[in-house]
Amino acid sequence: MNKLMFLRKQRGLTQKQVAEIFDVSTPYYSMCESGRRTPSQELLAKMAVFFNASIAELFGPVSDRTIKRMANYDGGLPAQLLFDLISSPPENVQQAWDFLKYLNEKEKDL
């Protein structure tokens, strides 16, 4: 059993309930949980905070190839930043994500 499934079941939640919390479809969450899909950067941050675990704790060791793929996904963050976030505690992930959203909003206002 993988870590996401373990933590979800430990909280007594179904995949559907967790998908609703994360505002994603149940099939998408299920594929992320089973490892058939790579979660978006936003979902990774939400998962880390919700489950109070680092991204590395949730998904295990992350290869350089995976980091590069994630860096090119949804507009992507630089690979080094992603690597740093993956090994960070959940509160740091949330702070970093909030700051990135803030910067994105400021850019829209310009």
Position 1 confidence tier, pLDDT thresholds 50, 70, 90: very low
- What is the per-residue pLDDT across 54-76, written as a single tens digit (0 to 9) for each? 877 887 766 666 666 655 555 55
The mean per-residue pLDDT over the stretch 24-52 comes to: 88
107 vs 40, more confident: 40
Q: Catalogue the long-range contacts made by 71-79 (C-beta closer than 8 Å, 24 or more residues apart).
A: 73/38, 73/40, 73/41, 74/40, 74/41, 74/42, 76/41, 77/41
Asked whether residue 47 carries a pLDDT value surpassing 70, the answer given is yes
